């Protein structure tokens, strides 16, 4: 049932091109996006929540909502809903992201929000699960069952669904013209190709990278802009399946504390995403400040980042626009986490101490 793969995690990483395509066609042939856009358009305040990987997808959503729909979004981790509990939510909307639809923290955020008058748009992979049932509308990912504890294909399908919601809202409110919307949706159809390219261009290199990282105790994963939530997700994947401590933070924060840990050979992975004309130069100085302390510098990014100097190891995922970049950039990180786990004799499908669905607080 693993389709010839040694682990579900690998099977699910490799399935991404197909399930992205299925999610895309599902969204295009349903009214889910319109319904979500209607709810969001009528709200004065928009919140987004989730736990773990789903929260990271929420951060990507907030990024595209600001960039494309020009709407600020308040992001919070679902177990932290208490901070917003006493607000009047009658003019607010919450986007609640949960692959399983059963995560207790996210469900409680939904219930708390509803009880103070808010409307809820769920994003889920499981039809008929609790969070969709208690929400006003649901946008479904069509990733199929995910057996591996580590979320892989569900993350990128969430990103696809959420980016589509941001685009649907943008056309609904006039931030995008009908023609611009059609063009952007047509572009998103290539999410599937971007994922194939991310996999194909990295599968061999990741092996080399994993053998040089397997003996490390710590890894930093740094990005800017859209690269920040992708870095968080990369670090979560690495730590949960390989048990190597990986920490992600926005690259600009190094000087504000974390660079104190960096010494000879400390591995720092940079996530390189568009818009390159705004980010490349800044990332270059972050690479240099790490290099100056003897760090091993690694870049996983779009082809434009080839220009960076002082990089020891580079995985070029191809050149993609901002809305397509996540699909190309994320698979190499998933493969890296997987390879590290296998090399270190850890079962990537069943990381210790973790359950696929967390139904206790």
How far is 246 from 235, CA to CA, in rounded Å? 5
Minimum distance of ligand M6R from residue 150's CB (angstroms): 4
Q: Is 138 in the site for ligand M6R (CB under 6 A)?
A: no
Among 150, 156, 222, 248, binds ligand M6R (CB under 6 A): 150
Q: Which is nearer to ligand M6R, 110 or 311 (CB)?
A: 110
Provide the angle, in degrees to the nearest 10, between the axes of the packed helices 16-28 and 325-343: 140
Between residue 239 and residue 258, which ones bind ligand M6R under the rule CB under 6 A?
Answer: 240
* Helices and strands per DSSP (H, E), number in the chain: 12, 10
Contact letters (x/-) for ligand M6R, 85-104, by CB under 6 A?
Answer: -------------xxx--x-
Minimum distance of ligand M6R from residue 356's CB (angstroms): 7
**23-31, 46-54, 260-268, 273-281 -> range binding ligand M6R (CB under 6 A):** 46-54
Minimum distance of ligand M6R from residue 322's CB (angstroms): 24
How far is 234 from 243, CA to CA, in rounded Å? 13
**143-151, 203-211, 257-265, 341-349 -> range binding ligand M6R (CB under 6 A):** 143-151
Minimum distance of ligand M6R from residue 349's CB (angstroms): 11
Among 16, 23, 53, 130, binds ligand M6R (CB under 6 A): 53
Size of the site for ligand M6R (CB under 6 A): 16
How far is 98 from 91, CA to CA, in rounded Å? 23
Question: Beta strands 137-140 and 218-223: pairing type?
Answer: unpaired
- Catalytic status, residue 255: no
Minimum distance of ligand M6R from residue 77's CB (angstroms): 10
Residue 102 dihedral angles phi and psi, to the nearest 5°:
-125, -5
Query: What's the CA dihedral at 265, 203, 201, 189 to 10 degrees?
Result: -120
How far is 298 from 52, CA to CA, in rounded Å? 25
Between residue 173 and residue 232, which ones bind ligand M6R under the rule CB under 6 A?
Answer: none
How far is 120 from 140, CA to CA, in rounded Å? 14
Among 16, 49, 54, 190, binds ligand M6R (CB under 6 A): 54
Question: Beta strands 92-98 and 73-77: pairing type?
Answer: unpaired
The side-by-side arrangement of strands in the sheet containing 73-77 is 73-77, 45-50, 92-98, 119-124, 137-140
Q: Is 106 in the site for ligand M6R (CB under 6 A)?
A: yes
Residues that bind ligand M6R (CB under 6 A): 51-54, 98-100, 103, 106, 149-151, 236, 240, 357-358
């Amino acid at each position: 049932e693993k389709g010839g793969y040694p682990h579900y995690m690998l099977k699910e990483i490799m399935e991404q091109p197909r399930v992205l395509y299925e999610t895309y066609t599902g969204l295009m042939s349903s009214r889910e996006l319109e319904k979500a856009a209607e709810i969001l358009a009528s709200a004065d305040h928009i919140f987004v929540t989730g736990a773990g990987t789903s929260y990271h997808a929420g951060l990507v959503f907030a990024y595209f909502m600001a960039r494309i729909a020009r709407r600020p979004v308040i992001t919070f981790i679902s177990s932290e809903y208490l901070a917003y509990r006493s607000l009047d939510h009658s003019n607010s909307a919450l986007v609640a992201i949960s692959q399983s639809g059963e995560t207790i923290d996210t469900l409680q955020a939904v219930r708390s929000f509803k009880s103070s008058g808010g409307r809820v748009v769920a994003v889920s992979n499981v039809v008929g699960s609790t969070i969709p049932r208690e929400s006003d509308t649901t946008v479904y990912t069509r990733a199929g069952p995910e057996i591996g504890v580590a979320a892989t294909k569900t993350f990128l399908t969430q990103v696809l669904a959420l980016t589509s919601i941001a685009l649907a809202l943008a056309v609904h409110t006039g931030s995008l013209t009908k023609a611009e919307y059609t063009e952007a949706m047509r572009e998103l159809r290539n999410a599937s190709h971007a994922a194939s390219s991310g996999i194909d261009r990295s599968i061999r290199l990741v092996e080399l990278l994993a053998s040089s990282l397997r003996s490390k105790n710590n890894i930093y994963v740094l990005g800017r802009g859209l690269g920040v939530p992708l870095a968080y997700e990369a670090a979560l994947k690495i730590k949960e399946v390989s048990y190597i401590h990986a920490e992600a933070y926005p690259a600009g924060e190094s000087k504000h504390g974390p660079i104190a840990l960096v010494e000879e050979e400390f591995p720092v992975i940079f996530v390189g995403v568009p818009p390159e004309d705004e980010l490349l130069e800044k990332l270059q100085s972050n690479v240099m400040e790490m290099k100056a302390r003897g760090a091993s510098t690694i870049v996983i990014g779009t082809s434009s980042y080839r220009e960076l100097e002082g990089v020891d190891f580079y995985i070029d995922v191809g050149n993609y626009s901002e809305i397509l970049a996540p699909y190309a950039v994320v698979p190499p990180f998933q493969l890296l986490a997987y390879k590290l786990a296998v090399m270190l004799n850890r079962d990537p499908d069943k990381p210790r101490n973790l359950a696929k669905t967390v139904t206790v607080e």
